[in-house]
Structure 1
């Protein structure tokens, strides 16, 4: 049950280590709107690299490997103004994160939800699944962490059947955090918008069936995604009449399309304009 009090929370797309930019954008919104944020949810590719050793465990081409801003928060030279809860994407320092697969606090006000996890925030039940899908490894266990360096870093970026089953076992969620999109959310009339675009050769190939399975099973009020670096709003209609709003976000480097703010009030969940 939601808190009876009105509160606001923000959602952020792929950060890719640009924590200062994320904080600047959201604090500017608070100042303009004169509304405080209670917490922030983030949909993966947060890239909380503490140092170069973390960076070495990230799966990405060399040109995209940058230490980023997180060291300042880890060393407590800077502090997130609100609690931030994030899931893993496909460009994380899993050499560090997988030491705590059930989640942990990396720094003050910075919490990883784990490979699969749930947290209750002001009565809002938030579940998350880290990683992306690869069918060839879905039914297999990930390599042991001790093998990192001997196997590809990419092998640690995929979720598997066990991760999905753990999220299903949560029973319900008000909000579901995913990195990749659920399949089947793009109607045929919008196909042209996705033709040949990044990671989306065709609208019916966008997303994956296991993310969609979680949406259909948990029937959250709100599904939040990143990964494709584009903003998109959709809806999943469930057989019993329940609807899940789907909000996909761009990357922080792209600006305002990476952010959304929601208001919870008397049991309702509503997206509000960022620039009102």
Structure 2
């Protein structure tokens, strides 16, 4: 299997879709599965405080998830999304981070039968409930959202889901997907040790082959944590970069080939083309034109 992992996107679903399609086209390889590691920015109905948040003021793409879930009202956008899903992009699995509408995600999880549920009418993004273990072609993947906090909060790691995963035996899980990271992966600006002791205990107990996470907005690893290879992904777009060419970050995507066990962090120069001026309608128009030319050549 070829599995892609995407770091924190903070609402930028259209950048994410373009990233996946572009990687496939440039590499000539089709992804079997795409997983986003939390902080999707799942806010279907942005509140007044969110609308006035400084990062939203810097970049309106922070609200693109809301535009996606309401896209049926926009005929052109809806057609583009259906086309992309039908011809180029499979469902993207995501977990909760610490920046989501948790009440809304809870309402979605009520409809989960097999551990995932689509959250948009185009079948593009599927929410994965904490503690879920899925088997894809023999690769067993466990999911645990949230972050470790001193006191229980909505953004905290769910204790019941954590305990369920803690009961897994070594070799039960091939890949663990979390939002937070193991304890000791770095230090904050104020010198505090970063990471979660809970996740350190979890990987020491169940020993997954890989732990893929986000949250810290820079690439960490791949590095060995006991028998587990840990990779922390970069944020998709860094709003601290005020440059004219602010774009998709190298290291915000990685690809694992489960056959060869090669875990590759994507750092190609073309990522910068998905910059602050990225326009999804133009991207889709060019994609459809390329598809038309390709079909014409084969007829």
The equivalent of 1:105 in structure 2 is 118
User: Of 5, 12, 22, which aligns to 1:18?
Assistant: 12
Inter-partner Cα distance in structure 2 for 1:60 and 1:43: 24
Residue 169 of structure 2 corresponds to residue 179 of structure 1: no
Inter-partner Cα distance in structure 2 for 1:57 and 1:210: 34
Inter-partner Cα distance in structure 1 for 2:232 and 2:223: 11
The equivalent of 1:67 in structure 2 is 63
User: Of 166, 191, 196, which aligns to 1:201?
Assistant: 191
- Matched residue SS, 2:195: coil
- Are the structure 2 counterparts of residues 49 and 273 from structure 1 closer, same or farther at C-alpha, using a change threshold of 3 Å? closer
Contact 1:129/1:163 (CA < 8 Å) preserved in 2? yes
The equivalent of 2:287 in structure 1 is none
- Matched residue SS, 1:68: helix
Count the aligned residue pairs. Answer: 232
Residue 56 of structure 2 corresponds to residue 41 of structure 1: no
User: Of 245, 249, 253, which aligns to 2:237?
Assistant: 253
- Aligned pairs for 1:21-32 (under 5 A) are 21-32=15-26
Deviation at 1:82, TM superposition (A): 1.6
Inter-partner Cα distance in structure 1 for 2:90 and 2:222: 28
Gaps of 5+ in 2: 57-61, 73-77, 239-248, 270-299
Gaps of 5+ in 1: 1-6, 138-154, 187-193
Deviation at 1:61, TM superposition (A): 8.0
- Are the structure 2 counterparts of residues 106 and 74 from structure 1 closer, same or farther at C-alpha, using a change threshold of 3 Å? farther
Residue 144 of structure 2 corresponds to residue 129 of structure 1: yes
TM-score (norm 2): 0.69
TM-score (norm 1): 0.75
- Are the structure 2 counterparts of residues 237 and 13 from structure 1 closer, same or farther at C-alpha, using a change threshold of 3 Å? closer
| Greater relative contact order (CA < 8 Å, ≥ 6 in sequence) | 1
How large is the Cα RMSD of the aligned pairs? 2.7
Contact 2:13/2:68 (CA < 8 Å) preserved in 1? no
Contact 1:59/1:91 (CA < 8 Å) preserved in 2? no
Contact 2:96/2:179 (CA < 8 Å) preserved in 1? yes
The equivalent of 1:262 in structure 2 is 256
- Are the structure 2 counterparts of residues 15 and 263 from structure 1 closer, same or farther at C-alpha, using a change threshold of 3 Å? same
Inter-partner Cα distance in structure 2 for 1:273 and 1:67: 27
Deviation at 1:246, TM superposition (A): 0.6
The equivalent of 1:167 in structure 2 is 165
- Are the structure 2 counterparts of residues 91 and 28 from structure 1 closer, same or farther at C-alpha, using a change threshold of 3 Å? same
- Answer with 1 or 2: which has the greater Rg: 2
User: Of 143, 157, 165, which aligns to 2:155?
Assistant: 157
The equivalent of 1:145 in structure 2 is none
Inter-partner Cα distance in structure 1 for 2:51 and 2:71: 25
Contact 2:251/2:265 (CA < 8 Å) preserved in 1? no
- Are the structure 2 counterparts of residues 157 and 264 from structure 1 closer, same or farther at C-alpha, using a change threshold of 3 Å? same
Q: Greater helix percent: which structure? A: 2
Inter-partner Cα distance in structure 2 for 1:237 and 1:133: 18
Deviation at 1:158, TM superposition (A): 1.0
